[in-house]
Amino acid sequence: MSYLYFPGCSLRSTGRPYEESILAVFKKLDIPLKELEDWNCCGATAYVSIDENSAFTLAARNLAIAERMQTEGKPAQDLMAPCSACYLVLEKTQHYVKADEGVRKEVGDALHRGGFDYKGTTRVRHPLDVLVNDIGLDRIAKAVVRPMKGINVACYYGCQVVRPFETFDHAAYPTTMDRLVTALGAKTVDWPLKTRCCGGSLTGTIQEAGLRLNRVLLKEATKRGADIILTCCPLCQHNLECYQKRINRRFGESLNIPVAYFTQFVGLALGIPPRELGIQRMFVPLKLAIPPVKEEHAHA
Amino acid sequence: MASTGMKQETNGWEPRIVAFFCNWCTYTAADLAGVSRLRHAPNARVIRVMCSGRLDPQFVLEAFARGADGVLVGGCHPGDCHYMEGNYKALRRIRFLQRMMKDMGIHEDRFHLEWISASEGEKVKTTINEMTEKVRALGPLGLPERFVKWDEEMDELEHTIAAQEEALHA
Amino acid sequence: MPENNGHDAPRVGFYVCHCGHNIAGTVDVAEVARFAGTLPNVVVSRDYKYMCSDPGQELIVTDIKEHRLNRIVVASCSPLLHEHTFRNATQKGGLNPYFFQMVNIREDVSWVCADGKAATAKTFDLVRAAVRRVAHHHSLATKHVSIHPDVLVVGAGISGIHAALTLANAGKKVTLVEREPTIGGHMAMFDKTFPTLDCAACILTPKMSAVKNHPNITLWSYSEVTEVSGFVGNYSVKVKRKPRFVSEELCVGCMECIDACVYKEGKTPDEFNQGLSKRKPVYIPFPQATPQVVLIDPDTCIEFKSGRCKKTCVEKCDRNAIDFKQKEEIKEIKVGTIILATGFKTFDAKRIPYYGYGKYPNVYSSIEVERLVNASGPTGGDLVLRDGRHPKTVGIIHCVGSRDRNTNRWCSRTCCMYSLKLAHLLKEHSDAEVYNFYIDIRAAGKAYEEFYDKLLEENIHFVRGRVAEVTDWAARPEEEGKLVIRVEDTLIGVVRRVPVDMVVLAVGMEPQADSQDVRRMFNISCSTEGFFLERHPKLAPVDTFTDGIYIAGACQGPKDIPDSVAQAGAAAAQALSLIDAGEIELEPNTAYVVEKDCSGCKSCLAICPYTAITRDEVKQKAFINEALCKGCGTCVATCPSGAIRQNLFEDEQIFSEIDGLLQDRESVSTGG
């Protein structure tokens, strides 16, 4: 099992902890990741709303590179994109290139001029899907040296990993992250807002709208007893984490809940030192008592 | 001898398709198409059998040999055969026959099997329309004419050989 | 008129029907008649306005006599419609009816082809084929089978009960088989029925009692049909009678054994009460169950699990009715006709996670609510929720699982009316605020619209919009502790959040879970949705494509009680008409073996699904039992020696049809 890895722009900037924790976790689990050569920005959700064909072409270049990087005779390596927006754009591009003759032709022509002959074989995956469905909860549970007992986690998926294609989980009531968190020894909070919008770019453009949406999520998670919210998207993580003080001022709340990437949580359970997981970058400090490493792994 | 896609400029030639429909499902569906006035291509000529399992491969061969440009078989969906399993037997025979016909040089679009249930009048219409167009694109199969031609070729060959023999012995 | 066996020279009479404008409007019928007259063997060729009419048929009768015809071909509508009519006319003329062939130029030609030229050309081909085919017809004897007068009715809900009573009152012996321990079906669970608000039990129990006491009805409850074989008029059916471990003859339904059971209270979810209450291992579905006999559940009874129970039930029973050794019994009956009235099941609302069924305790399905409001239900008719509260607001969501591409596309027909009924009953029982969330209100029956009108005056709120979700997340303080229904109110164009205490899901009606297995057992078909398929949606709604088997009630499609009863009556009438006729004609299209050609290769033996073919070990040849043969023809196509032939569908007949269809082909250049 090995994967091609598409970091995307966010993971090299505001989403640094996501990359740090992914690389650390996959290294710990002995799964090789190879970064996509000469990858380019996926265009994120914005470009697709402006010019579909150009947007698909931009994203498809990465798919073409991934196909080119496959080794003949060896099993195919899927392209893993941790950022939910990158994941959705790449998956959507792949879907339309295969399903729509017009898109296939336009994208194919453009790629051809760039020296690519994309046959449409690349498979796009999200690390949540890879960890739980490929690597498997058994293997991860065995690798846990620090069972996260007593921690209540609100799993927040955002909208892009499950909609519109529902590739690996339900569109409104997903459970992949919850099952992963349970396998690590923690408890999950049962709440109906797992995929309710975090506001996306609204926190930057129409901030009032974005703050209102975030307030709902943070408040409900706290109300249901969550100690931490875990996310799988850099923009969700940013939105939920960075505006809590502002929301408190604006709406008279007293929110103070840490928001981390799920891979950071996995990393802690696997015994990886917090600094390697980017924990120090968190805006709302991770105050929850980190359970001790299990006795038999104390030497690790 | 290949019969693939040679479009002929024949005067007003229309594809002639012989269709074998099972009484309980496909024939009923064809009637339903009629009752619902679902107009479709008039190129199919229907022969009613009680079950698609009755279809003897010889019927298909005879149809082509007599000049059909296409043969269509309609039966009940697997699992729904009025006589339990007749359609499975038909499926087996037809798949084998299709392979043979291909080897014989008859394009696979000319011999088609479709499962159509009693309530699928619309499907009868689309199946006949689609098949008619496919066969039209392939052109006439014209086996009777080819048989005549081959017979003539054989006659010629015989004469040539006979003449050569004579010359040898002369 | 001398009967010939088909070996003399054919003298064909050909008739093409105008069918008014239906055929003649497109096909040039005069040309067709003229063309047919030129075909070999055709002696008489006519066209006529309505061949199926009396004068039309008379033409055939007269011509046979005057022109010594021995074959008849009629080109008109579909043989599925009038083959029988014209065979009769042929017979009236003194000819064996099977010397007749029909050409379908209406359903197959004039109704589907607007181009007159193409339609007429197609007709020429079909006519030529039929004229050639009919020359190879032989005279055949029509099979007559007698009809056994007894009837099997499967399913004892309102439809099965009504059909059984109708037949029994007509003097026929009916075996009524019901899977559950009691008859009454879904109707027995309801409280009141729309639109009259009759008490369901009040109108049903007299009928249940009539069934129990009728001398002509044998009621086998807690039983299932396991095997069906035979053919119309002569069905053999095996019925498995499941053991109650209580003797039906001895038990009087006093229910003291239930009180005496070592279980102090019930621990198993009660099936009849939809899991809203618990029952003991010894139980009766409801006190007025018919038959009024208790039963013991071997999966939960201690005596079965460990063999060491005190058996206080046995002690208490002064009739010695309890018998732990009771075994399953297989009964065999012979009947002539069968009526299937196996009913429906409700849509499982868990399939729509957005509505929270199974997740939030105060989300109910409509059938659960029927039990809640029922005075003999788990709460005695008190509207109390699973968490003990009495609801102040209730939301009823229509179309759950219905009219939806993701689940079931059809409308379940009854849900609007029962939702209105429940709205009324809930308000009556609790004075709560009641909201109905609907897409359309379908109130098409007699007095249904008036019922809806009345409700509008009872201050029930109607919101037109398909509910998006039921959630327990509170956006405002007043929503705390409530379930919030999120819906677009399409009449005012606003998305609303309606906080309620109780949600009722109007679940749709579906085919029973085992409907595919059941229909295979009886050899009938299902439609794409899975309901049993009727022979014709308008003209034969209770017949099936299998002679002698009828369907009635919700198993044929979602419907309410009045329609179910009507269909049950119709099915009973169809069965009666067959029984009283005493016999039925079967098409003699069976297969037969020509012994001199049979090589004894045994290829055909395994082919027949009806095991009609056996091997005569003495002659070393195949033998076909005509009574079992259904005439599919699969063995005919299988026989490598061509030794098996099929009446009415002989090889030479079909070959001649093929040749006839193609004979006129213009020579086409093919370019090799």
Instruction: Please give the Cα distance from C17 to C21 (Å, whole number).
Output: 10
In the structure encoding, which two tokens stand for residue C490, read together? Answer: 């399409």
Q: How confident is the model at residue C627 (pLDDT cuts 50, 70, 90)?
A: confident
pLDDT at residue C667, as a whole number: 55
Q: C663, C619 in Cβ contact below 8 A? A: no
Which residue in C119, C525, C610 is closest to B42 by CB distance? Answer: C119
Q: Which CATH architecture has domain B14-139?
A: 3-Layer(aba) Sandwich (3.40)
Residue indicated by tokens 């001199």: C596
- Show Cβ contacts of residue C421 under 8 Å, excluding neighbours closer than 6 positions: C192, C193, C194, C195, C197, C451
Residue in chain A nearest C353 by alpha carbon: A173
From B10, B83, B125, residue closest to C632, measured CB to CB: B83
Q: In C396-468, where does DSSP find H-type helix?
A: 415-430, 448-456
Question: Residue B5: pLDDT band by 50, 70, 90 thresholds?
Answer: very low
Q: List, for residues C350-399, the tens digit of each pLDDT value.
A: 999 999 999 999 999 999 999 999 998 999 999 999 999 999 999 999 99
Adjacency order of strands within the sheet including A259-261: A187-188, A152-155, A228-231, A259-261
Q: How far is CA C284 from the centre of its chain?
A: 30
Find chains touching chain A: ≥3 CB pairs under 8 Å. Answer: C
Inter-residue contact B5 to B109 (CB < 8 Å) = no
Tell me the C-alpha distance between C100 and C123, whole Å: 18
**With contact defined as beta carbons under 8 Å apart, do C189 and C345 qualify?**
no
What pLDDT shows up at residue C277? 94
Residues 6+ apart with CB under 8 A from C606: none
Residues of chain C positioned with their CB less than 8 A from the CB of B138 = none
Q: Where are the domains of chain A?
A: 3-125, 137-297
What is the Cα–Cα distance from B111 to B19, expressed in whole angstroms? 10
Q: Which residue has the higher pLDDT, C58 or A291?
A: C58
Is C591 within 8 Å of chain B by CB?
A: no
CATH of the domain spanning A137-297, picked from 3.40.250.10, 3.40.50.11810, 3.40.1260.10, 3.10.20.70? 3.40.50.11810
DSSP H helices, C317-437, are 366-373, 415-430
Tokens representing C32 are: 């067709």
Q: Which of C22, C104, C112, C526 to mutate to test the interface with B (most CBs of B within 10 A)?
A: C112
Q: What is the pLDDT of residue C221?
A: 97
Query: Does position C524 have pLDDT exceeding 90, yes or no?
Result: no
C475 touches chain A (CB under 8 A): yes
Residue appearing with tokens 């039209």: B136
- Find the helix or strand (DSSP H, E) in which A102 lies: helix A101-113
Provide the 8-state DSSP code for C95: S
Across the range C56-84, mean pLDDT stands at: 94
Give the whole-angstrom CA distance, residue C381 versus residue C431.
14
Q: Is it true that domain A3-125 has CATH number 1.20.1050.140?
A: yes
* C430-474 tens-digit pLDDT: 889 999 999 999 999 999 999 999 999 999 999 999 999 999 999
Of residues C242, C126, C236, the one with CA closest to residue C178: C242
* Out of C108, C637, C663, closest to residue B53 by CB: C637
Among residues A96, A10, A85, which one has the least CA distance to residue A60?
Answer: A96
**Which residues have C-beta within 8 Å of that of residue C627, sequence separation ≥ 6?**
none
- String of DSSP letters for C242-267: ---SB-TTT-----HHHHHSSSSS--
- What is the residue extent of each domain of chain B? 14-139, 144-170
Give residue C6's pLDDT band: very low, low, confident or very high (50, 70, 90): low
What CA–CA distance (Å, rounded) separates A295 from A145? Answer: 8
The answer for residues whose C-beta is within 8 angstroms of residue C395's C-beta and 6 or more apart is C434, C435, C437, C467, C470, C483, C485, C498, C500, C502, C503, C504
Cis geometry, peptide bond prior to residue C206 (ω within 30 degrees of 0) = no
Quickly count: other Cβ atoms within 10 Å of residue C385's Cβ: 16
Cβ of A192 within 8 Å of Cβ of C473? The answer is yes
Distance CA B155, CA C30 (A): 45
C18-69 pLDDT, tens digit each: 999 999 999 999 999 999 999 999 999 999 999 999 999 999 999 999 999 9
CA C348 – CA C463 distance, rounded (Å) = 24
Residue C581: pLDDT above 90?
A: yes
* Closest residue by Cα to residue C138 from C15, C4, C2: C4
**Those residues with Cβ within 8 angstroms of residue B52's Cβ, 6 or more apart along the chain or in another chain:** B20, B22, B26, B73, B74, B75, B76, B81, B86, B87, B90
Q: What's the pLDDT tens digit per position in C270-288?
A: 999 999 999 999 999 998 8
- Neighbour count for residue C258 (Cβ, 10 Å): 18
Please report, for residues C98, C104, C141, C160, C585, the alpha-carbon distance to residue C6 in angstroms, rounded to integers and kept in the order given. Answer: 10, 24, 13, 49, 22
Burial label, C317 (beta-carbon count in 10 A; 0-12, 13-18, 19+): buried
Residues of A in contact with C480 (CB under 8 A): none
Q: Which of A237, A245, A44 is nearest to A155 (CA)?
A: A237
Angstrom distance (rounded) from CA C209 to CA C212: 5
Set of chain B residues whose Cβ sits within 8 Å of the Cβ of C663: 66
Helix (H, G, I), strand (E, B) or coil at C183: coil
* pTM given for the model: 0.83
Residues of C in contact with A170 (CB under 8 A): 353
| Nearest-angstrom CA–CA distance, A139 and C647 | 68
Inter-chain contact C112–B40, Cβ cutoff 8 Å?
yes
Are C220 and C331 a contacting pair, CB within 8 Å? yes
Q: Indicate the pLDDT class of residue A104, thresholds 50, 70 and 90.
A: very high
